[in-house]
Homo-oligomer: A and B are copies of this chain.
């Protein structure tokens, strides 16, 4: 990678952003790693510290890097805080948010349906890992989740931990499979509980449930997880802040 500061070229700090992102996505720097200091990078790239700083600042805003004063700059990780504040949106009626306990019902391989394959950008009939679980909030089963993962990226996930999955899956993806979730798109709908939903959540069939269909992407834009949640909203709600 050569930086160019010619007249019509892309600004240096953007080129540096690309370069830093590349080093993260290609695994040269893994989540939790410290990256070189701003001075080291500026010397290496022959730019001023301020230019490196601007690039890093934007990557911090994108949740790619984390700065710690006095220590250095690190590649962001999926800790519990990030799960709770960015990737989990269900509150109870008093407004408190806690990570639910999860109970895995099944975890097996199957062939992706047409829709699943298209949403995950897989070829028709590709193998996927198919996980079903329920999640408890305030000690009552509140969410039923179906998680679909490309088997090619999550080899042997099924074999290794059939019913012993942690409940912060993104941490698992990161540490065990080197896959970092960076962004997700969610589609929310109201649906009626099926008989099966009803028995799992101990409520009546036909009860309105909040259905959340999430597609999660890595930093380079590859879809890597399809997750469908059905939530009882009798004592909880989905919280979203609009800016």
Contacts and interface: CB of A to CB of B under 8 A. Distances in A.
Interface string A207-230: 011110110000000000000000
Contacts of A10: none
Interface string A163-201: 000000000000000000001111111111000000000
**Residue in A62, A211, A237 whose Cβ sees the most chain B Cβ within 10 Å:** A237
A184 B238 contact: no
B183 A237 contact: no
Contacts of A211: 190
A242 interface: yes
A206 interface: yes
A214 B242 contact: yes
Contact of A185 (B183, B189, B239): B239
Interface of A: 61-63, 86-87, 89, 91, 183-192, 206, 208-211, 213-214, 231, 233, 237-243
- 6 smallest CB-CB distances across A and B, nearest first, come from A208-B208, A190-B208, A189-B233, A190-B190, A188-B238, A184-B242
A115 to B, nearest CB: 12
A62 B243 CA distance: 8
Contact of A241 (B184, B208, B209, B241): B184
A63 B208 contact: no
> Of residues A191, A209, A214, A243, which shows the largest number of chain B Cβ atoms within 10 Å of its Cβ?
A243
B242 A183 contact: yes
A162 to B, nearest CB: 28
A241 B190 contact: no
A187 B210 CA distance: 12
Contact of A237 (B91, B189, B206): B189
